[in-house]
A and B are shown apart, each in its own frame.
Chain A
Amino acid sequence: MVSASGILGYGFPESSLKAGLERKPHMIGVDGGSSDPGPHYLGSGKTFTSELAIKRDLSLLLRGAIANNIPMMIGTCGGAGGEPHLQTCARILREIAREHDLHFRLALIHSEQDKGWLKQQLRAGRVQPLGAAGPLTGAVIDRAERIVGMMGPEPHLAALEAGAQVILAGRGTDPSPWAALALHHGIPPAQAWFAGKMLECACNAALPKKHDCLLATVAQDYVEVEPLNPELRCTPLSVAVQALHENASPVIHKEPGGLLDTTECTIAARSERAVRVSGMKWKPQPYTIKLEGAEKVGYSAITFAGTRDAGLIGQIDSFLAAVRESVATKVAALSVSSGDYELVLRLYGKNGVMGEWEPLKDAKTHEVGVLAEAVAKSQDIANAVISVTRVTLLHTDFPGRLCKEGNMAFPFSPSDIERGAVYQFSLRHVVQPNDPLEMFPIEYEKV
């Protein structure tokens, strides 16, 4: 099996895909998503790689798959895997098919969840919190802009069994396309999942780490990985490191229906560039599907400015307290209630990166950047609050002030930037479906 890149739209060398196809793989795939870029994409329905980049990658993969008569499988389309993300990728795919006169059976696997169905599951006690989350409520479901379930390999497997050659899927656990293909060919779950785990970030498992194609060979009792670019190599260490990637534990991976346990794995070099892993175990668990949701928290506007004034930097905390107080008074005069907006000030040069986690409290610095953000219930209010904040940052007096023309250097005109609607991740729960396919309808299409 081949994985083309870390994410659909991150790109890969065409020569690596060609080298991969010469090895006669049983499928080529790529994972399309991640929650890493934050809640905006799930909330807004936008893709986080550009349509141009998605089209470039999809076009090479689709033509390669059709020419070699093998499946092409894409997980978590468009970044967040919601309905708009899936439809964007499907539209691009049909465009490519038209341009190159390609014909195939397409499966679209939907992962956006019906709020009414979820509330039924909630009432039936089939939804559980994860980590520090509390119980889910109907209000959280109602407020969500969009909720997706993270599918396992079963919907992909069903689509393969129904004869689909091209599979575009909504939100799924990253290894699911490859795990499904391996399961389809009779590989046991431990090896199937491990292969998927290695392939999901492609050459993240290789050295030097690049956006490039990875080949995995999976057997009944081992998985072997090898990068397809001759300049890259997999080593036992690079493969072990991939297990650390973006997981809470390097050895126990929680997946729908079980745990992939790599505690007893043996990792051995097969050549200068290939590594074989064996000894992985699959421990079945009750079948649960993780939910992801995003809700709109308001509208944002920002402004950025810096100060180079030592007198001001020396009293920045009391200065900003005075700014906040003055902004509150001026905004109240606009008949905006204090509950309708929030003002967030991030101080670069002080604790802009780590916030309250910053251990250095009194480091000397010669300039400080202030990123002011207003989050409000409407864009108009956010704009008004940030405008008042800009002026107040510029002109608020402080003891010993020598720079009476203005406290801050603003790099831009206009200084205020509208950010539109902003979202937050709102669900951290799993649901127990009746079966692994229930939440993920599959639609077939002759392209």
Chain B
Amino acid sequence: MPKLRDIAKACKSKNAGPFELTLDIMFEDAATFEKVRRTGVITPKLIAKLYRVPVESVVFTEYPPAFAYKATIERRIASGAVGDTDVYGAQQHAPLLDVEIPI
């Protein structure tokens, strides 16, 4: 079964301000996005499970104009505070790469 890393055009994380992290998953074209959308795998629940945050705290948007999904969650630790590991939040996407998509 293909994983997101095999079929996504972009899969990335980044700060959305100092306290939130935003995850973007984008596909090459409308057809791929639609196929992935029909599997129903990419949901707020999936994000909540991968990042161990309450599902109701996930801000989740399907964004067809960019063939993309966006999910925003609270950072584990505010950017640059004591104990933070990723000031820019640019390397928190890895758990998404292994998500299996049954298409």
Contacts and interface: CB of A to CB of B under 8 A. Distances in A.
Interface of A: 35-40, 131-133, 236-237, 240-241, 243-251, 265, 267, 292, 297-298, 342, 344, 346, 352-357, 359, 375, 422-425, 428
B2 interface: no
A423 B52 contact: no
B40 interface: no
Interface in B43-69: 50-52, 57, 59, 61, 63, 65-68
Given A35-B17, A38-B79, A357-B95, A240 B74 contact: no
Given A35-B79, A38-B80, A346-B85, A250 B66 contact: yes
A397 to B, nearest CB: 28
Contact of A246 (B16, B26, B86, B95): B16
Given A241-B26, A249-B61, A250-B68, A354 B92 contact: yes
A35 B20 CA distance: 12
B103 interface: no
Q: Which of B24, B50, B57, B85 is packed against the most chain A CB atoms within 10 Å?
A: B85
A37 B61 contact: no
Contacts of A243: 63, 65-66
B57 to A, nearest CB: 8
A39 B81 contact: yes
Contacts of A346: 85
B37 interface: no
Interface string B80-96: 11111111100110110
Nearest to B15: A36
A357 B70 CA distance: 19
Given A39-B81, A250-B61, A244 B18 contact: no
Interface of B: 14-20, 22, 24, 26, 50-52, 57, 59, 61, 63, 65-68, 70, 72, 74, 76-88, 91-92, 94-95
A248 B63 contact: no
A240 B66 contact: yes
A422 B82 contact: yes
30 contacts: A36-B88, A39-B80, A131-B74, A237-B66, A241-B26, A241-B66, A241-B68, A244-B26, A245-B14, A246-B15, A247-B22, A248-B17, A248-B20, A248-B59, A249-B61, A250-B70, A297-B81, A297-B82, A352-B85, A353-B92, A354-B91, A355-B76, A355-B83, A357-B92, A359-B95, A375-B82, A425-B19, A425-B79, A425-B80, A428-B19
B78 A424 contact: yes
A265 B65 CA distance: 9
B90 to A, nearest CB: 9
A-B pairs, 10 with minimum CB distance: A38-B80, A240-B66, A424-B81, A240-B65, A425-B18, A248-B72, A38-B87, A250-B63, A39-B80, A355-B85
A37 B26 contact: no
Nearest to B95: A359
B80 A356 contact: no
Contacts, number: 123
A287 B60 CA distance: 26
A423 B80 contact: yes
B28 to A, nearest CB: 10
A244 B51 CA distance: 20
Nearest to A342: B82
B51 A37 contact: no
A249 B69 CA distance: 10
A370 B86 CA distance: 16
Contacts of B70: 244, 249-250
Nearest to A348: B85
B95 to A, nearest CB: 5
Contact of A39 (B14, B76, B79): B79
Contacts of B84: 38
Nearest to A345: B83
A147 to B, nearest CB: 14
Contacts of A344: 82-83
A425 B81 contact: yes
A35 B81 CA distance: 13
Contacts of B51: 357
Contacts of A292: 18
Contacts of B57: 132
B85 A35 contact: no
Contacts of A237: 66-67
Given A250-B70, A353-B86, 4 more contacts: A244-B70, A246-B16, A375-B82, A425-B79
A305 to B, nearest CB: 17
Contacts of A246: 14-17, 22
Contacts of B18: 35, 38-39, 292, 425, 428
Contacts of B94: 353-354
B20 A40 contact: no
A302 to B, nearest CB: 12
Contacts of B83: 344, 355
Contacts of B20: 131, 248
